[in-house]
A = this chain, B = another copy of it.
Amino acid sequence: MHPHFSTKERILSAAEELFARHGFAGASLRQVTAAANVNLAAVNYHFGSKDNLINELFRRRLDELTARRLEMLEQAEAQPKPTLEAILEAFVLPALNLASDQLGGSAFMRVLARAYAEHDQTLRKFLSGNYGHVLKRFAQAIRPLLPELDKEALYWRLDFVSGALTYAMSDFGAVKRPPGRSEEDHRRQAAREFVRFAVAGLRAPE
């Protein structure tokens, strides 16, 4: 009846929530293990170190997120006339689904926002080494649809787009769900607004 949550997953979920709230340096393994209701030593047994726990926390979510994004991107490109809208939706919708459907997905998006601000070498190397290819892949897909835009300008704008998305999805944004609207409607509204905004921004005249 009840699903079984392993010690490892309980630690990952508690870490996600606490790192979202207090940052990687700001939340201790003692807080994490207390919240997960596991022994302090379990972290080192299952993950080896705090740094590696952080890496695994990202891997648990990002492997699936990037797979869904690339999957939708291929579907969009398989159309006879791929649109900028469809490509951007391939980037945005999987992230929104993760944030709203999966337990703890919203905390994960806040952790991701923190990772962007983190200049520490260890985490940045892990993320750009394992997931940096995704942004490049999307840039390649978008480029032929904006032939008048030079390569540098395109990179600037994609940078703005992913920044806007990251911060919009972490919950400190100004836009709260109005009472009486379902979580799913709110998400679809956010996706629609975001894609419209991003398409227009990318298409801005040089």
List the interface of chain A (C-beta within 8 A of B).
20-26, 110, 113-114, 116-120, 124, 135, 152-153, 155-168, 170-175, 178, 189-190, 193-194, 196-206
Contacts and interface: CB of A to CB of B under 8 A. Distances in A.
Contacts of A201: 197-198, 200-201, 204
B199 A204 contact: yes
A41 to B, nearest CB: 23
Nearest to A139: B174
Nearest to A159: B173
Contact of A167 (B110, B163, B175): B163
A125 to B, nearest CB: 13
B116 A172 contact: yes
A154 to B, nearest CB: 10
5 contacts: A116-B170, A119-B171, A156-B175, A156-B197, A201-B204
Nearest to A178: B152
B155 A175 contact: yes
A180 to B, nearest CB: 13
Contact of A156 (B158, B193, B203, B205): B193
A78 to B, nearest CB: 26
Contacts of A174: 135, 155, 158-159
Contacts of A153: 193
Nearest to A118: B23
Of listed A24, A120, A159, A197, residue having the most chain B CB within 10 A: A197
Given A135-B174, A172-B116, A201-B201, A160 B152 contact: no
A168 B171 CA distance: 19
A25 to B, nearest CB: 4
B120 A113 contact: no
A23 B197 CA distance: 31
A129 to B, nearest CB: 14
Given A20-B119, A22-B25, A25-B23, A160 B168 contact: yes
